[in-house]
A and B are shown apart, each in its own frame.
Chain A
């Protein structure tokens, strides 16, 4: 697992979000093209369930990473003190924002049918 002091933490959380978003949008378009569920089912279709599942999984990961960074930031690092703490603290924020963004987008799948 990537260290909470690694500078890539400054991009990781939101990069995961944008990749998840792109894949999900692509998969949704594809699913609606090949196997659109009937519109009468409303939001209770296999597509929505799959979307929600991926949402919760990604959100969980991001929250865990945020927690990891938070722990590292409050523990500190003796050698590279301030620079490392700075990265870990920002990393926590980025992962957290990523989690919020993932969750808030994914929750849309509760409200709407997939292909209409």
Chain B
């Protein structure tokens, strides 16, 4: 595998570009390559950062002096709502995801992410969702109930008109993008590392991203569910959060913060990953305590799911429960401390050199440690009662997010700038940018702690003079404008460097990770040949790696077959198991996202006939997408591999598609668990919870429906089992049979529902049951559709003994469907019986 390929670099490059090249003009919308998509995410996120920053400047102008009337209260409410929303959903998460999408395959020695069309789809969902959300601001009907959207303030009574719908639908749309990026990153990190790169060799950045991506998978669904429920309450009158009809507004807070707190660490972890990547490079030694850091990252990921209630200490829950969350919130200081002291020890034992990114890292450390310490203060319940919802929290949060996220991101931006552009930034402008931002930031937010302690609540559009808040507010506003100048300086520097920066050459920082072994700037295929390198610091061990990679002297340099290929490796050891062939450019992601945005807009303007059409079109597009897969001639024209090579993934049972399905189902399961939590929560806590006298659903037909589903699933599992044994006789017949069973089950379920006494607009009890039934029908229906398609593909010859993987991909879906059926059954039918009909 290591012999010289006999061709020169230019010829190899041309051959690879014929397969991997990006089209230009309108067809650029078809690009699925991770480098292009990653840059789009980052640039779009950057633009939204500026918009969010502008809103902050407007608010700071209004608050600079007491009793100002520059901005009316209504507009001010829109501004702070949108500032928070834009910064969290439109800037922080997307830009970090974009960075990860760009970097991860390169660091892993892969040619692309494993679901390239999904990356493109995610980007367009994000773009369209953001545009829909921002259009509300232009139209003057922006959401104004705060980025946390607490009910009842955000319900149809107290927020009439479409403003809150913009938030709920737009943000949900953007979250689809985040979850798809999450799934994609998890699977790519686990399954596409280059030959021999075990988990223990993986660059730390990828560990951080792995944990972040898994956190997205578990953390976003609660909010997606919450948004769906609130939108159903607003538009269909289903009273999940309405106390009078058996709901409870606190349920929204739980769902929101179940997402909201992990979100903070979803933003912090990738940024900390940047620190762990840059610091060793500039300390000129490998990171110390690799395992400690991995441990700390995993622990942070988990613990961050156990402290959401610390945003709700003032709602009056028992002190003991508060103490649990208080303790858990403080525990997070341990993994954070481990990371900080590991970084410190790396510097201590290294030979640090000074470049601009280091400046931003120092800024990060000071600001983030300060923010972390005020975080520990806030975790202490009595103190929290006093400063919760004051400017103290505003200050704390900006220390954590601005210091913990923006500073490392700018450090990373400077560090990878030569990788994006091939040129170096200017030292002088960069220093101005840093110092202005650092000083401006601290002027704004250090003082703001005091403003909060002096009693100034958050989210007030003005304040009277004479409460001691005048001077600190003026100082904060001045600091805000200095920060803006600093950011402008950074932008200027970046803009100028494209023209005046000196060429970077190869590996300008003498870094150790594989992304610097690509061309600079990188070509769409990343690597001509994939370095098989089971070490943590490939470029330190082999400084000429970039040249040998480009000469095709490492693994998998063949391209004559015209397939986009990368290694599929074992999740733990990194040993090669199969060759993953990736789909090429496609219009489908763009069209599918477009159809979904039509759906989103039609829901906003409540034109449900159009919404139905949009659902149909999206479904057709997505199914077409799934059609061009595996052994389809457009996906893999030629299944031949070189002798001695492992098989193509579509010829195995253990494909990335299966992994993607399982990770997607984890997200789906998190959504279902949130729904179940909502059901149990309302049952125990809602003040006016009402249970009907008689059971709303006929349990016998429900049981039969479940039995049909169970038989279908058992048959399906049996089919896949037989296929594994190499038997594919009557495959099509079996699949048709299973589809018919599934269809019967759906029919029964619909009948039970139609026959029930449910009035979902009357009580929260009936509303939750209706949502569970909807959820079940969605899963069962999709299972049937996918199975029918599989039967059809068997007939076309795309699925069978030779290419079995798709059947294995659908299997977990069936399994999940039957599990949620019986859990829902237990929750709806058995729980009330056990409760004694109370």
Contacts and interface: CB of A to CB of B under 8 A. Distances in A.
The reply to whether A and B meet directly (CB within 8 Å) is yes
Interface of A: 7, 10-11, 14-15, 17-18, 21, 24-26, 28-30, 32-33, 80, 82-83, 86-87, 89-90, 93-94, 97, 100-101, 104-105, 108-109, 111-116
Given A7-B572, A26-B680, A108-B320, A86 B328 contact: no
A80 to B, nearest CB: 7
A105 B329 CA distance: 10
24 contacts: A7-B571, A11-B298, A14-B298, A14-B302, A21-B328, A28-B318, A29-B321, A29-B684, A29-B685, A30-B684, A82-B198, A86-B198, A90-B298, A93-B295, A93-B299, A94-B298, A97-B295, A101-B328, A108-B324, A108-B327, A112-B323, A115-B318, A115-B320, A116-B318
B291 interface: yes
A93 B294 CA distance: 10
Contacts of A21: 306, 324, 328
Interface in B442-480: none
Nearest to A109: B320
B321 A101 contact: no
B291 A93 contact: yes
B200 interface: yes
B199 interface: yes
B318 A114 contact: yes
Given A10-B298, A105-B327, A33 B685 contact: yes
A47 to B, nearest CB: 9
B684 A33 contact: yes
B559 interface: no
A89 B324 CA distance: 28
Contacts of A83: 198-200, 572-573
Contacts of B680: 26
A90 B294 contact: yes
A26 B318 CA distance: 12
Contacts of B298: 10-11, 14, 90, 94
B502 interface: no
Contact of B324 (A11, A25, A86): A25
B321 A25 contact: yes
A70 to B, nearest CB: 13
Contact of B295 (A15, A82, A90, A114): A90
Interface in B278-329: 291-292, 294-295, 298-299, 302-303, 305-306, 318-321, 323-324, 327-328
Nearest to A20: B306
B331 interface: yes
B318 A101 contact: no
Contacts of B295: 90, 93-94, 97
B328 to A, nearest CB: 6
A108 B323 contact: yes
Nearest to B323: A108
Contacts of A97: 295, 299, 334-335
A45 to B, nearest CB: 10
A87 B572 contact: yes
Given A18-B305, A18-B306, A86-B198, A80 B573 contact: yes
A35 B298 CA distance: 38
Nearest to A94: B298
Interface residues of B, number: 30
Contacts of B319: 112-113, 116
A32 B323 contact: no
A32 B328 CA distance: 21
Given A18-B306, A83-B573, A90-B291, 5 more contacts: A11-B298, A28-B320, A82-B198, A94-B299, A112-B323
A34 to B, nearest CB: 8
Give the interface SS of chain B, mostly helix, strand, loop or mixed: helix
Given A82-B198, A97-B299, A101-B303, A28 B321 contact: yes
Contacts of B324: 21, 24-25, 105, 108
Give the interface SS of chain A, mostly helix, strand, loop or mixed: helix
A33 B838 CA distance: 13
A93 B293 CA distance: 11
Nearest to A33: B684
Interface of B: 198-200, 291-292, 294-295, 298-299, 302-303, 305-306, 318-321, 323-324, 327-328, 331, 334-335, 571-573, 680, 684-685
A101 B331 contact: yes
A61 B680 CA distance: 28
Contacts of A82: 198, 200
Contact of A86 (B199, B320, B323): B199
A89 B571 CA distance: 18
Which 6 residue pairs of A and B lie closest in terms of their CB atoms, listed nearest first? A14-B302, A86-B200, A108-B323, A93-B295, A112-B320, A83-B198
Q: Which one of B327, B334, B572 has the greatest number of beta carbons of chain A within 10 Å?
A: B572
A52 B420 CA distance: 55
Given A15-B302, A26-B680, A82-B200, A113 B291 contact: no
Contacts of B306: 17-18, 21, 101
A104 B324 CA distance: 9
B339 to A, nearest CB: 14
B573 A17 contact: no
A113 B323 CA distance: 11
B139 to A, nearest CB: 41
B727 to A, nearest CB: 31
Contacts of A33: 684-685
A31 B634 CA distance: 59
Contacts of A29: 321, 684-685
A115 B303 CA distance: 24
B222 to A, nearest CB: 12
A14 B306 CA distance: 10
Contacts of B305: 18
Contacts of A26: 680
Contacts of B331: 100-101, 104
A45 B144 CA distance: 45
Nearest to A85: B200
Given A29-B685, A108-B327, A111-B323, A14 B303 contact: yes
B504 to A, nearest CB: 35
A115 B335 CA distance: 31
A10 B292 CA distance: 13
Contacts of A115: 318, 320
Nearest to B534: A82
B268 to A, nearest CB: 18
A111 B303 CA distance: 22
Contacts of A17: 302, 306
Contacts of A18: 302, 305-306
Contacts of B328: 21, 101, 105
A58 to B, nearest CB: 14
Contacts of A116: 318-320
Contacts of A25: 321, 324
A113 B303 CA distance: 25
Contacts of B303: 14, 101
A93 B302 CA distance: 13
A59 B321 CA distance: 19
Contacts of B323: 108, 111-112
Nearest to B317: A29
Q: Which one of B319, B320, B684 has the greatest number of beta carbons of chain A within 10 Å?
A: B320
A12 B133 CA distance: 39
Contacts of A90: 291, 294-295, 298
Contacts of B684: 29-30, 33
Contacts of A89: 291
A21 B305 CA distance: 10
B680 to A, nearest CB: 7
B332 to A, nearest CB: 10
Nearest to A30: B684
Q: Which one of B302, B573, B680 has the greatest number of beta carbons of chain A within 10 Å?
A: B302
A33 to B, nearest CB: 5
A52 B199 CA distance: 37
A84 to B, nearest CB: 8
A111 B381 CA distance: 14
